[in-house]
Chain A
């Protein structure tokens, strides 16, 4: 940044005609800018530090009153009742139930879309379908929540009349559709990165397009595909509005998607809307649940990163 200067001889022409901004000034300006930019990039580090600090700090207060063991193993979550229980498992299970349901919808559809877009679709078709998927990814989650509660749920209840008004299934379906674009675009990127020569090699052995796609392209792109699956699942676990609107507020350990459940995210959203006095244990449940949510999604994201780095095929 600071090159040695002043060692050059003065140029023969009139240096004043080159204006008043001397090298000294330009270089000090340069240093100021450098410091500003470093400060800007420190913000992202501070954000992480802030998130962890806030979650841990308030959680410490929480765990002073509730044992970690009770929190992690308890099967009842009733922090706002007379008889308080602080077992996070029902919320965790709610999150996992909805996320797995969403994955069940999104992974096959997303992968099939990716295969279609990467291996079958002609350019014109792709030019129409890809923006449609982008629009799907850009719809606000609150609108998806509306759709889940007021369109999908009534539809489900015509098939299963005993389904709860708020139920996990409608959230699963709609959230699944929401993350389809994530799966399909990342998987398609991974499949497009598979060299053309591999496809030709398979075709030259008498493979059909199906065999090329499923036996050559998908295995070669597998690390990217699995990473996209994991990212989508992490997104589903962290999604808030769809579950808050459509899945209900009943923390219970159930695997029945037609029942009302409560996810970690929905708990945080629903609880924070009431006026909880600052500093109470009820207020701190938000942070303890938030910390759990943060850890779970971070874990899934990191596994996804590891899969991507460790198992990527390097060609040539």
Chain B
């Protein structure tokens, strides 16, 4: 794979330009029983047979391959690409180190379970963590069935017509809509029109719509990957379409669907922009106990603390970021574990 990079004088130069050398050897095509040429080139009656074949004119001096120089450029480019790739790694390291250096000292059990406070050294993330957990559960509750249902319909039921293409195009476009626009939708639709107010419910519905396209696309991929033979086998036993899906397709596709859903949910948990619009609060001094309660979530709490001028609050924000990152990383780890566990089998 790696070609040795050497100063290349390389292969010896051809002794002489070779066209002017020997005359072309006489050549009698071998003929054997059963192996004759089908015809005598009549199919190919263009220039190659009618005219003398244009001879190769070889003159090495017309080429300046400068291999050593090109090798150097190639290595320099490879190094450049590697450096570019490592920039991502370095920044990630800088970010993690920065957050840990600022926040590790503030990390404690009382900080994780405590309530927010006007005094940075007493501020905790209890309500924010509880809010995030609520939002996680409610969002999953709405988005999972809707997303998987849509994917099943698109993959197993929908006729391949304009309506289906419209829905698929629509989903692709929704995936590219900025998250804050979902926040605006949530503000107008859930907070105002449906009068849910600044509640956990409004936040969860908004985030469910936000991650719906992601779940749909991931579930479609998982369902598509189920071998066709499984379907045919089930149909051949007299199963209806839904029986086939429920008993044969979904069990096989489920790990893929779960992986996609978990990753989508981890995105919902990390989002701050939409919940700003649907009314998360910067100061919640109670643990929410039902979906109509007012709330805050971890990213919003971090945002709130970062925006304050006091350095002490920045430290709490960093500590809260560590908790958030740990939460998200463990969700990704579960997703990756699921993916690896089930892809290895097939």
Contacts and interface: CB of A to CB of B under 8 A. Distances in A.
Given A43-B146, A55-B184, A112 B85 contact: yes
A44 B321 contact: no
A168 interface: no
B89 A278 contact: no
Interface in A39-59: 39-41, 43-45, 47-48, 50-51, 54-55, 57-58
Contacts of A1: 157, 241
B338 interface: no
7 contacts: A45-B170, A50-B189, A51-B177, A142-B321, A209-B78, A240-B178, A293-B181
B181 A290 contact: yes
B172 interface: yes
Interface in A78-96: none
Contact of A29 (B65, B149, B177, B242): B242
B104 interface: no
Query: Interface SS of chain B: helix, strand, loop or mixed?
Result: helix
Nearest to B324: A140
B78 A132 contact: no
Contacts, number: 258
Contact of A51 (B158, B181, B263): B181
A233 B174 CA distance: 16
A208 B170 CA distance: 43
Contacts of A211: 70, 74
Nearest to A178: B91
B88 A44 contact: no
Interface of B: 1, 65, 70-71, 73-74, 77-78, 80-85, 87-89, 91-92, 94-95, 98-99, 102, 145-146, 149-150, 152-154, 157-158, 166-167, 170-174, 176-185, 187-189, 192, 209, 212-213, 216, 240-243, 263, 266-267, 270-273, 276-277, 299-300, 302-303, 306-307, 314, 317-318, 321, 324-325, 328-329, 332, 336
Contacts of B94: 147, 151
A209 B4 CA distance: 12
Nearest to B150: A41
B65 A47 contact: no
A262 interface: no
A129 B184 contact: no
A36 B149 contact: yes
Contacts of B336: 131
Contact of B180 (A41, A206, A269): A269
B146 A113 contact: no
B273 A240 contact: yes
Contacts of A142: 270, 272, 299-300, 302-303, 306, 321
A30 B1 CA distance: 56
Interface string A158-181: 000000000000000000010011
Closest CB pairs A-B (n = 5): A238-B178, A40-B149, A140-B270, A112-B84, A210-B74
Interface residues of A, number: 91
A238 B167 contact: no
Contact of B173 (A34, A48, A131): A48
Interface of chain A: mostly helix, strand, loop or mixed: helix
B331 to A, nearest CB: 9
Contacts of B80: 112
B7 to A, nearest CB: 15
A177 B216 CA distance: 27
Interface string A187-204: 000000000000000000
A176 to B, nearest CB: 10
A272 B157 contact: no
A37 B213 contact: no
A146 B272 contact: no
B330 to A, nearest CB: 12
Contacts of A141: 270-273
Contacts of A26: 240, 243
B259 to A, nearest CB: 13
Considering residues B146, B150, B182, B307, which has the most beta carbons from chain A within 10 angstroms of its beta carbon?
A: B150
A156 to B, nearest CB: 14
B176 A272 contact: no
A113 B84 contact: yes
Given A44-B167, A112-B80, A272-B277, A147 B95 contact: yes
Given A146-B317, A151-B98, A177-B91, A40 B150 contact: yes
Contacts of A37: 149-150, 152-153, 157
Given A30-B241, A40-B146, A140-B272, A132 B88 contact: yes
A233 to B, nearest CB: 11
B70 A208 contact: yes
Nearest to A297: B178
A106 to B, nearest CB: 10
A62 to B, nearest CB: 13
Contacts of A244: 273, 303
A40 to B, nearest CB: 3
A116 B242 contact: no
A135 B172 CA distance: 23
Contacts of B332: 134-135, 138
A108 B84 contact: yes
A6 interface: no
Contacts of B314: 146, 150
Nearest to B171: A44
Interface string A107-147: 01100110111001110000001011111101111111111
Contact of A151 (B1, B95, B182): B95
Contacts of A223: none
A287 interface: yes
